[in-house]
Structure 1
Amino acid sequence: MSSKQRPRASSPSPRGDAPAARPAGTGLAAVPDPARIPLYLGLAVLGAAVGLAGTLVQAALFPGGLLLALVASAGLFYGGRVLTRTQLGALAPAAGWLLALIVLLGGRPEGDYVFGDELGLTLFMLGGMAAAVMCATLSRLPYSATGAGRTGA
């Protein structure tokens, strides 16, 4: 054995003039994955289709149609949230849904409206917006049915 000792490995001390690293955003502040952008656009188009169909169904079959349209809208928003595991997954179909409703309720230059002023349409709009907010602000997603992500099992 030699009498020389090996030098210890040490990490250099952080520089004082180094710029601070920006923390990664979470929730809606997180940068979306570029591979998911087509998925979000597809969800927005699907949201517009559900908004159009929901507007027609709730007007045709008032009490049951309104309930069916709200359940379909809430199911799409929640499904987008679970599919993408992001808040943007719930807001993308909600944006398409709201855009379709605004276009349908905008009126034409002749002064005609696609739909008249009815209580069902107002309830559909308010209920759908409430469902979108609830699905987008879920704190956690449920565990999968297979239990693959649980610890301690």
Structure 2
Amino acid sequence: LLICADLWNPALTHLAFLHGATLLISPVSSGVEAVGAEFDNPKGWALTMAFYSMMYGAPSIMVNRVGVENDLTFWGGSRILDPLGVELAIAGDGEEIIDAVLDYDRVRLARRLLPTVRDSNIGLVHRETARLIDRLGVPDFIRGDVSGQRHA
């Protein structure tokens, strides 16, 4: 279970699947206007969920809010995808229950075909993270920090 913005951090998703996840469940609270006019939030979520399903050979379920709250319009669009990123069910922009049958034989097939989990080298990831941890971070101008510090 990764919640909303957790999915925008690919390392968290990678860790979940290395830990053995076979299904990605993601409740989100995504408003059309949340990121800004230049970014298509519904399209971004559709691409993100399809990417993770295809990349990790796992079905995914994304559940989004609907309606209006303050200045945000929640667009719905909840969806269920198979382990190859194929959309099995998609909700509209109102309250709706969707369902789909998930075939775990397809999960096993996808995991055999796709190298992401099968060939993962967690030792390499650990070594590189340890090597870079004190050197890298988010540049201060990205977070709006004027102190000149880099943040992990």
What is the TM-score of this pair, normalised by structure 2? 0.31
Q: TM-score, normalised by structure 1?
A: 0.31
Q: Which has the higher contact order (CA 8 A, sep 6+)?
A: 1
Flag the structure with larger Rg: 1
Higher strand proportion: 2
**Greater share of helix:** 1
